[in-house]
Amino acid sequence: MELPPAGTVAAPELTPEDSKRNGLVISLLLVSAFVVILNETIMGVAVPHLMTDLGITAGSAQWLTTAFMLTMAVVIPITGFLLQRLNTRPVFMLAMSLFSLGTLIAALAPGFPMLVVGRIVQASGTAVMMPLLMTTVMTLVPPQARGKTMGNISIVMSVAPAIGPTISGLILNVLDWRWMFLLVLPISLLALALGVLRIKNVSTPRYAPLDAVSVVLSAIGFGGLVYGLSTLGEGAGGDSLVPSWAPLLVGAVALVLFVLRQLSLQKRDKALLDLRTFRSVTFTVSVVMMGISMMALFGSLILLPIYMQTVLQLDTLQTGLLLLPGGLVMGVMGPFVGRLYDKYGPTPLLVPGAIIVSLVMWSMVMLDQNTAVAWVLARHVLLSVGLSLMFTPLFTSSLGSLPRHLYSHGSAIIGTIQQVAGAAGTALFVALMSREAGTLVAQGANAIIATAGGVHVAFLWGGIISMFAIIAAIFIRRPPANDMAPAMAH
């Protein structure tokens, strides 16, 4: 596979017909992506409900979210291959077909194991959709308009997960948990039908190899890390047959082998993920900061519903409605932040955003059984403001700093890091909460006080982690304002 040479020229100017076609493709991808990403966090509010209905622990229930994100982390690296080998339309059809099938399986699941299977199939479709959207936008949209378009993408990437708990809260208040999937199924089928009818091919397929060993190593690596984190809380009793550190060690070793293999394969342009993307300092720092942000977002999205329902004794509807304003704030701010990025660049947005997120994480350490609901709402809205200031600049700066031929690899790496970080944040926050709550129960505390204590410890570590994002924000710069970032040395 030959990579484009350094200094590849910009694409020719588009005709009105091309612009109309591109706008339609991006709009359909945005709507479809919103539908599939919405399901990433729809289980958050349902965790306490499912624990009772299915007779499972919090550690087991969180796998409905963790398995979703982990599957995405395993599948997303393969999308770099798919986006090079296949055209836009067949990739879209594959993504929405898998998502619709997974939704059907989850809706008809007789118990917890099959429900997890449905979530995994759903995630396989979602994993293909997001890199498809990002790569298509970076290919079709000129640099001077990318901030605005990425602002719309940030609605998908941040608002859809944020309002997932609200949707599930509204559904669970009046219907069985299966309706979380039954109501989504016709929407996903409609999106699939519209895509079949209206999506046009806007990419040019080319030969790209698929290295099976790399796929296996990435699955073991990411899976081991997230599984190890998830067992930390469940292993608090000390009776686990497999020590918590064992899967972490296996995952770390597999990831090292994965990286070494990619470095070897990319010399022949055969890497599953081309790590030459990390030669861009802006891309590297943006990916690190994005990982921290996703840990904060998804850790909070699973912890806050547990806290509000177990400690504050709110029902699923109240919990969902309390999380709705934050999601709406992110939706309103997305395009606005995109325009600010186009005008001022990333630094004036990222630094305040990172500071706000860190301050909110530290303030959540003070949550207890006596905290007023209004204060919980205020903290979540402020957290949403901080994350809104971060997501659009991070997406735009990271991919914009790469040469065109690395867009698909950059999109796949960003998606992978997002999901691994989100899964790690979910697993880590629940593990920390579960361990501390278990210790307090053993000391005689009731469930409310024990859960509040667990939430305190989890957000304490969240506050510590969030401080690293402030440091990273200082080093992110606006990419070159041309249609192609300078190609890096091979």
What's the predicted TM-score (pTM) here? 0.74
Does the residue 479 lie in any domain? no
**Per-residue pLDDT band at 481 (split at 50, 70, 90):** low
**Per-residue pLDDT band at 204 (split at 50, 70, 90):** low
Highest mean pLDDT of the ranges 49-58, 198-207, 412-421, 470-479:
470-479
Hey, what long-range contacts does 7-12 have (CB within 8 A, 24 or more apart)?
A: 7/484, 7/486, 7/487, 8/403, 8/404, 8/405, 8/484, 8/487, 9/484, 10/482, 10/483, 10/484, 11/483
**Per-residue pLDDT band at 10 (split at 50, 70, 90):** very low
Does the residue 144 lie in any domain? yes
Q: Are 445 and 316 in contact (CB under 8 A)?
A: no
Does the residue 128 lie in any domain? yes
Does the residue 10 lie in any domain? no
- Measured between alpha carbons, how far is 83 from 412 in angstroms, rounded to an integer? 10
- Taking 90 as the threshold, does the pLDDT of residue 60 lie above it? no
CATH number of the domain encompassing residue 42: 1.20.1250.20
Does the residue 438 lie in any domain? yes
Structurally, how many domains does the chain consist of? 1
Highest mean pLDDT of the ranges 141-145, 208-212, 262-266, 379-383:
379-383
pLDDT computed for residue 378 by the predictor: 93
Does the residue 5 lie in any domain? no
| Length of the chain, in residues | 490
- Comparing 39-53, 113-127, 209-223, 434-448, the range with the smallest average pLDDT is 39-53
Q: Model confidence over 356-409: pLDDT tens digits?
A: 999 999 999 898 888 899 999 999 999 989 988 988 888 888 888 888 778 878
By residue range, what is the domain housing residue 432? 16-473
- Comparing 29-33, 35-39, 57-61, 169-173, the range with the smallest average pLDDT is 57-61
Does the residue 7 lie in any domain? no
**Per-residue pLDDT band at 25 (split at 50, 70, 90):** confident
pLDDT computed for residue 484 by the predictor: 41
pLDDT computed for residue 189 by the predictor: 92
Does the residue 209 lie in any domain? yes
